[in-house]
Amino acid sequence: TGGVTYDPGFMNTAATKSAITFIDGDAGILRYRGYPIEQLAEKSSFLETSYLLIYGNLPSATELEAFDQKIRRHTLLHEELKGFFGGFPRDAHPMPVLSSAVTALSTWYQDSLDPFDEEQVELSTIRLLAKMPVLAAYAHKKSIGQALLYPDNSMNLVENFMRLSFGLAAEPYEMDPVIVKALDQLLILHADHEQNCSTSTVRLVGSSNANMFASVSAGINALSGPAHGGANEAVLQMLRQIQSEGLKPADFMEKVKNKEDGIRLMGFGHRVYKNYDPRAKIIKSTAHEILNKLGGNDELLDIAMSLEERALSDDYFISRKLYPNVDFYTGLIYKAMGFPEKMFTVLFAIGRLPGWIAQYREMLQDPEMKIGRPRQLFVGETERNYPNR
């Protein structure tokens, strides 16, 4: 192999050192900066967890307050940027709208693009955290033909996002604290996951010294695929298909096991977890709570539980160590909260943002950082001469 290691899909290659997130896939352990995910999900907030991931330690009360205030001050978008949303077809998927809008931030906020200027990196951090939920909510509002509301900075990040997504200009928006709490917790669970496809993409793009907006936008595109973040939308499509075609979960499982048409049980399996995904454990109980409270589609939840039960006792899944991952139950919760399916992966992106930023910043600080440039094994034609014609 000419001194080059062949490792398709980077199954075994560590491309970086990192002090942010620890995963033990065999034991089903996930920690951000040393803190177990279960404790953060129960006790922290998305804002606090974002601070933890980006700056390395939990903030003091004063630091958290200052961070919160800074983010609230940056929620407004340049007025002209709003016109941007009219440039897409109404039925556009909000993921490409979001990634385009995040790239567009680099044209309106040119004073925070330099990756070698710490103040500019800090400013783009705050701008992204504050503005990306607003961009996401606007992508949704445009798709349903409703007016874009201005952010209300008396609200925190998650409350603002809910109001911008569901509020109407002519009516006060009634916040449901149970939904806000549940969404906040889901965002914590998605906030980082070490060198997954989208995060590695952010690092790879950033390694060419591209600015943070460009790098995060690339991460959003990487997240959109159904093998990655797009799985949460794909799970719901799968459950609805089983329901509408009146398929028995057992028959669907046979199709999966026979690999008919390449069907996979979406929301199952993971490159690193060979055990129950610790995030899925927490999400499963939230799904029950939220669906009980909001009266979601119980039949879809029943189908999901039946699929899970069968998979966990089936040799095909046991021998391959396939367990439910973070995406298996989230779609059901998002749906019960009122989000359309197309928004599910956008919610994942909002959650993953602090992780992308933390990893991008860690890369910039790394003295061993080099431009990412994988090698290849060339398997094409050897030299041949262009014919005389």
Q: Which of 184, 192, 277, 327 is catalytic?
A: 327
Q: In terms of CB distance, is 85 or 348 closer to ligand CMC? A: 348
Query: Any catalytic annotation for residue 270?
Result: yes
Which member of 45, 100, 196, 359 binds ligand CMC (CB under 6 A)?
Answer: 196
Q: In terms of CB distance, is 192 or 327 closer to ligand CMC? A: 327
Q: In terms of CB distance, is 149 or 307 closer to ligand CMC? A: 307
Q: Could you give the string, one character per residue 263-292, with x where binding to ligand CMC holds by CB under 6 A and - elsewhere?
A: -xxxxxxxx---------------------
Quickly tell me which residue has 């939308």 as its tokens.
Answer: 233
Which member of 248, 255, 320, 375 binds ligand CMC (CB under 6 A)?
Answer: 320
The one-letter code for the residue type at 309 is E
Q: Which stretch binds ligand CMC (CB under 6 A): 70-78, 95-103, 174-182, 261-269?
A: 261-269
231 binds ligand CMC (CB under 6 A): yes
Least distance in angstroms from the C-beta of 120 to ligand CMC: 30
Q: In terms of CB distance, is 72 or 271 closer to ligand CMC? A: 271
Total of residues contacting ligand CMC (CB under 6 A): 20
In three-state form (DSSP H/G/I as H, E/B as E, the rest C), the secondary structure along the chain is CCCCCCCHHHCCCCCCCCCCEEEECCCCEEEECCEEHHHHHHHCCHHHHHHHHHHCCCCCHHHHHHHHHHHHHCCCCCHHHHHHHHHCCCCCCHHHHHHHHHHHHHHHCHHHCCCCCHHHHHHHHHHHHHHHHHHHHHHHHHHCCCCCCCCCCCCCHHHHHHHHHHCCCCCCCCCCHHHHHHHHHHHHHHCCCCCCHHHHHHHHHHCCCCCHHHHHHHHHHHHCCCCCCCHHHHHHHHHHHHHHCCCCHHHHHHHHHCCHHHCCCCCECCCCCCCCCHHHHHHHHHHHHHHHHHCCCHHHHHHHHHHHHHHHCCHHHHHCCCCECCHHHHHHHHHHHCCCHHHHHHHHHHHHHHHHHHHHHHHHHCCCCCCCCCCCCCCCCCCCCCCCC
Which member of 213, 327, 334, 337 binds ligand CMC (CB under 6 A)?
Answer: 327
Q: In terms of CB distance, is 227 or 318 closer to ligand CMC? A: 227
Q: In terms of CB distance, is 48 or 277 closer to ligand CMC? A: 277
Q: CB of 54 within 8 A of CB of 212?
A: no
Least distance in angstroms from the C-beta of 228 to ligand CMC: 4
Quickly tell me which residue has 């609230």 as its tokens.
Answer: 72
Q: Which stretch binds ligand CMC (CB under 6 A): 21-29, 134-142, 211-219, 317-325?
A: 317-325
For ligand CMC, which residue has the nearest CB? Answer: 269
Least distance in angstroms from the C-beta of 230 to ligand CMC: 8
Least distance in angstroms from the C-beta of 187 to ligand CMC: 14
Q: Which of 270, 277, 288, 315 is catalytic?
A: 270
228 binds ligand CMC (CB under 6 A): yes
User: Site residues for ligand CMC, window 8-67 (CB under 6 A)?
Assistant: 9
Q: In terms of CB distance, is 141 or 203 closer to ligand CMC? A: 203
Least distance in angstroms from the C-beta of 389 to ligand CMC: 45
| Cα 191 from Cα 128, distance rounded (Å) | 14
Query: Any catalytic annotation for residue 277?
Result: no
Catalytic residue numbers, as ranges: 270, 327
Under the rule (CB under 6 A), what is the footprint of ligand CMC? Answer: 9, 196, 227-229, 231, 256, 264-271, 320, 322, 325-327
